[in-house]
């Protein structure tokens, strides 16, 4: 059963929708004609800052047995992982920086610090999600195949548990996304060949092994080794537990003979190293949880608040380019925040602009947002935005309510009316930017040729 809600395109004629599409194209082309050194400096500075945070975190965690060092190191590492995933990895693999032709910052070569393989993620996210955004039955990010987040989705008893497994998904989001990228629905239905399934599993297994070895073996061993060397240099004067875990284990199994002597040696050499190893592994685990919870919150708040529309496949049939733009516009929601908030959210606080222009460098979204609002104001379309906690609350209310049968779409916002509190004598946002929309340019658009962007909107006229 489909629960109908009036399409935001209903009041627009075909000619109006096409005119709107040309305006969106023109905004894109104006930005691409202006890309240059300041954009290059921005992404390189963000990458440099991320690496400095990661190094600072690792250095601090060499002393992870100290609580202040553990807290500071975990915070630095968590922020480094957030920046690497959100503002760098996600956006580089969208092809936003391919125009630089930098072989080190290119969608075809970049791989990120997460469980998803670049190839699988580009297909499931860049192509499927950004092409078929919020089309029920085609956009597999609509509930990630495990949640009912739209009343039009058929209810199943398994959804009763979604408020609980959503908490697990928050904590281990990178692994949930990796499995989602496999397209589990196609696997279950047999549409996906076993050969492809095996290739995906091999890719996930390779990433999983690299993640586990790096975070839970390699770096903890380095921290433990650093403690051991420092202990040698200090001639054993560093504080450490009286006995080692390995020594206690040996005594439990072999109480006499040479094993007892080996246990005595372990007690002298290993207690501090063991404690440092475990403290660093726990810090890495905590940093991964921090990154996962943040990514989950930003992504869910950009896609599933009350304001967003979903579409049936019939509504999207024979969709024009202008219609594709409107679907992207109303199928996403922004999150209000400071410049720092937008950087650590990967500029996905501008989720509306990201869906309109997935190949545009993320730092330009704040620049085009007023122009998008201008279009919404003139064409009487909604511009979805709200504070983080408001959007987050809506999302989790929906997850809780739609765990049960029934439900209906929440009220949708009306047309955008400009910023509240604008002085009467001050020019409106629309008036300020209307004259800046340039003439049509057929050379670019959201299908911009790139190794990362595979979005396929309808072609230009």
Q: What H or E segment, with its residue span, contains residue 207?
A: helix 194-213
Please indicate, yes or no, whether residues 398 and 292 belong to a single structural domain of this protein: yes
Integer Cα distance of 348 and 363 in angstroms: 10
Question: Are 349 and 217 contained in the same domain?
Answer: no
Q: Look at residue 136 and give its three-state secondary structure.
A: coil
pLDDT of amino acid 212: 92
Q: Which of 286, 303, 335 marks a domain boundary? A: 286
Cα 318 to Cα 76: distance, rounded to the nearest angstrom: 49
DSSP state of 153: S
Q: With 80 as the cut, is the pLDDT of residue 325 above it?
A: yes
* Residue 3 forms part of a structural domain: no
Has residue 444 been placed in a domain?
no
Task: Please report the DSSP string for 385-443 in residue order.
Answer: EEEHHHHHHHHHHHHHHTTSS---PPPPP------TT--TTSPPHHHHHHTT-----TT
pLDDT in tens, 209-253: 998 999 999 999 999 889 888 877 877 677 777 666 666 666 665
Mean pLDDT estimate for the chain: 85
The whole-number pLDDT of residue 429 equals: 44
Helix or strand (DSSP H, E) at 335:
strand 334-336
Q: Give the model's pLDDT for residue 413.
A: 86
350 within domain boundaries: yes
115-150 residue pLDDT tens:
888 888 888 899 999 999 999 989 988 888 899 999
- Note whether residue 441 is domain-resident: no
Q: Tell me whether residue 245 is in a domain.
A: yes
Considering the domain architecture, whether residues 26 and 172 belong to the same structural domain is answered as: yes
Same domain, 274 and 306: no
CB burial class (10 A; 0-12, 13-18, 19+) of residue 69? middle
Task: Name the least confident of 72-81, 137-146, 327-336.
Answer: 137-146
pLDDT given for residue 67 in this prediction: 94
Q: Are residues 305 and 388 in the same domain?
A: yes
Looking at the structure, do residues 207 and 335 belong to the same domain, yes or no? no
- Asked if residue 341 and residue 265 are part of one domain, the reply reads no
Nearest to 299 by CA among 224, 385, 392, 221: 392
Distance CA 366, CA 364 (A): 6
Burial annotation 331-365 (CB, 10 A radius, 16+ → b, else e): bbbbbebeeeebbbbbbbbbbbbbbbbbbbbbbbb
Residues 116 and 259 in one domain: no
Same domain for 326 and 209, yes or no, is no
Same domain, 246 and 260: yes
Give the chain's domain count.
Answer: 2
User: Which residue among 232, 267, 286 closes a domain?
Assistant: 286
Let me know if residue 461 belongs to a domain.
no
List the one residue out of 343, 384, 339 whose CA is nearest residue 361.
343
Could you tell me if 280 and 346 lie in one domain?
A: no
Question: Within a domain: residue 179?
Answer: yes
Tell whether 297 and 149 lie within a shared domain: yes
Structural domain that includes position 148: 14-198+287-434
31 belongs to a structural domain: yes
User: What tens digit of pLDDT does each residue of 353-368 get?
Assistant: 999 999 999 999 999 9
Q: Is 112 within 8 Å of 93 (Cβ atoms)? A: yes
pLDDT surpassing 60 at residue 421: no
What is the mean pLDDT of the segment spanning 280-298? Answer: 97
Q: Is the pLDDT higher at 77 or at 437? A: 77
């Amino acid at each position: 059963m489909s629960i109908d809600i009036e399409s935001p395109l209903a009041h627009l004629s075909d000619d109006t929708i096409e005119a709107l599409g040309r305006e969106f194209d023109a905004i894109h082309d104006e930005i691409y004609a202006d890309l240059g050194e300041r954009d290059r400096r921005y992404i390189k500075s963000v990458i440099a800052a991320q690496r400095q945070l990661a190094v600072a975190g690792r250095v601090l965690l060499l002393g992870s047995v100290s609580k202040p060092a553990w807290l500071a190191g975990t915070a630095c590492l968590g922020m480094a992982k957030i920046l690497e995933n959100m503002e760098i990895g996600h956006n580089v693999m969208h092809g936003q920086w391919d125009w630089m032709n930098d072989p080190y910052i290119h969608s075809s070569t970049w791989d990120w610090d997460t469980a998803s393989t670049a190839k699988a993620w580009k297909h499931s996210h860049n192509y499927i999600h950004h092409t078929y955004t919020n089309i029920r039955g085609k956009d597999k990010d609509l509930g990630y195949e495990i949640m009912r987040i739209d009343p039009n989705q058929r209810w199943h008893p398994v959804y009763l548990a979604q408020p609980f497994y959503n908490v697990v998904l928050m904590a281990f989001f990178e692994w949930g996304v990796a499995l989602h990228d496999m397209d589990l629905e196609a696997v279950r239905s047999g549409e996906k060949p076993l050969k492809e399934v095996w290739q995906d599993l091999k890719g996930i297994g390779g990433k999983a092994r690299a993640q586990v070895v790096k975070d839970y073996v390699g770096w903890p061993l380095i921290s433990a080794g650093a403690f051991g060397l420092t202990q040698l240099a200090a001639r054993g004067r560093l504080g450490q537990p009286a006995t080692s875990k390995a020594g206690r284990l040996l005594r439990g199994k072999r109480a006499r003979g040479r094993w007892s002597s080996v246990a005595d040696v372990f007690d002298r050499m290993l207690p501090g190293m063991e404690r440092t190893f475990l403290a660093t592994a726990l810090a890495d685990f905590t940093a991964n949880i921090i990154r996962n919870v943040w990514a989950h919150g930003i992504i869910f708040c950009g896609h599933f608040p009350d304001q967003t529309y979903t579409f049936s496949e019939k509504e999207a049939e024979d969709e024009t380019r202008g219609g594709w733009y409107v679907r992207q516009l109303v199928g996403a929601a922004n999150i209000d925040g400071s410049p720092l908030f937008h950087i650590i959210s990967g500029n996905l606080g501008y989720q509306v602009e990201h869906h309109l222009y997935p190949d545009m460098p993320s730092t330009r979204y704040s620049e085009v947002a007023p122009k998008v609002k201008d279009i919404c104001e003139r064409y009487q379309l909604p511009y979805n935005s709200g504070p983080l906690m408001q959007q987050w609350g809506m999302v989790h209310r929906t997850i809780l309510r739609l765990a049960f049968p029934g439900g209906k779409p929440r009220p949708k916002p009306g047309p955008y009316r400009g910023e509240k509190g604008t002085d009467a004598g001050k020019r409106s946002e629309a008036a300020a930017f209307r004259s800046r929309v340039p003439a049509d340019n057929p050379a670019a658009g959201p299908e911009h040729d790139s190794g990362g962007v595979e979005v396929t909107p309808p072609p230009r006229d």
